[in-house]
Structure 1
Amino acid sequence: MRKLYAMAAVFAIVLLTFLHLRTGPDERGIEATVSRVIDGDTIELANGDVVRLIGIDAPEKNQPYNEDVLDELRKLEGKYVRMEKDVTNKDRYGRYLRYVYLGDHFVNLELVQSGLAYAYSVNPDKKHEDSFKEAERYAMENELGIWKKSDYSDCIVLEKFHYNAKGDDTKNLADEYLSIKNECGSDMEMLGWRVRNRYGYFDIPAFEMDGGSTVRIVTGNGTSSPDSVFLSRDMPIWSNKEDSMYLMDGQGRVVLEKSYRN
């Protein structure tokens, strides 16, 4: 009889392990071992499940601070982490969407607070959105990581941000733009600059700004001139309701930031 009980116990353990491997992380905050880091906001578990850390967006490969966030996440490798679900279970790539904890440390939040990732909450997964925004404000105010002040910040100012084009935005991309002014007396050459919204980066063609001049950065297509450069996008990049605009220099440092909500 004892052998029978022992066999039943072993079978139950094997069954539970199998079910965990099949179902992956769940909303109850289960623990699992991290086997490796895939990128700045994605990890793989020992059972092969891939987990995307939600509420954040980390710099991609070849972008400033990518190696920094990878080094920080690699501290999780070989360790047990607890994972918490919000609303959505998986994304379109089959990755589990989770908040990740190492002991008392909220990994997602701490990456934002240390300036190694952007706050990036997407509907309907916004359980910790306010905390992420507060953490990002802290990183910005203290110029941590990606929020380190650009050398251009004292010269470049935002004159106008026309994120809501007249009429149908999709048919009037020439009217979606931001205008920046060089308030310093020296000429500047802008190489590798980008603008970023809440969802990603957009490269700006190389341009020059004379001292005191103004340049318009236009979403749509056109021929560059001393006072205009074009992102050559086929769709609007700025939301008419709520968004954040970051102008970043060639080193990935923030020159300007503007957030809005209507």
Structure 2
Amino acid sequence: MRRLGVGFVVVLVVVAGCSGFTDPPSRSAGTAVDGQPAVDVPQPAVTVTVTAVVDGDTVQVAYGNGTADTVRLVGVDTPEVQAENDPAEFEGVPETAAGVSCLRGAGTNASSLAKQRLLGETVGLAFDPELNRRGYYDRLLAYVVLEGSLFNYRLVETGHARVYDSGFERAERFYAAEDRARTERRGLWRCVDPGELTRTAIADGGTITGSASDVAITDIHADAAGNDNQNLNDEYVTLTNTGETALDLSGWTVSDEAGHQYTFTDLSIGPNASVTLYTGRGTDTDTERYWDRDGAVWNNDGDTVVVRTPSGETALRQSY
């Protein structure tokens, strides 16, 4: 449910220790907004281990005594991956087949991020004083605190989720993050302009034509097993030719938000064929290419893969 109006001035009093169990001081995290923390991080009431990721906003956890529970993340709603999405729920996303398809991909990205960041991790759960502990389907409603940051907020900030306003205490801060993500077309908000994702050169307003429009990013594996910097070939990106003719990728580049860039040489992939770009070292083949880097490239907590043609036109820009 979106805010009912924009004419109200809302004064948000952040209550420390929203778990309801204790009342310690909150920690601040995120980018400062008007001299205030972007969002405060509540003190966890309980520590659990994430045993499964249902989708971007729902996880299964185990307590220290071995009992299990399902947690629905407070204040966020990621696109569905196991059901059809309704674009009307995501402000500005067109109610078209392209909008639905784009949201499905965004849901997959959100689930992948949750798996990369949470699966197998020990996290804290905190509760909102404005909400019941349990919601629909008897799921536990909670904030997930990971390494001192609020994962719920991170999903909204990076555009992996919209705000689901259930009357929770931090709603206004979450909405501010959502507005920034939408304005900057992060994550799912790229779906506001779904036709531009693969066919419009975002960098200079040109148009990708012919076989160049048939390239797709079909896999992003950012979180290598163990230490990313010591397992570089478990960090990779896969491109696929979805067209009906061969695609020459010679001179094409792959880069991240920080400007690290790889250039393909002497490579053509056939219809429905793929090439995987590994961060580490190895022997180049028609289906495997190696960046030959000494350290990891892709951020585990979110990044953007940018694919450009030899002329510098942006063919793809996909955030996760």
- TM-score, normalised to structure 2's length? 0.37
Larger radius of gyration: 1
Superposition TM-score, scaled by structure 1 size: 0.45
Structure with a larger share of its residues in strand: 1
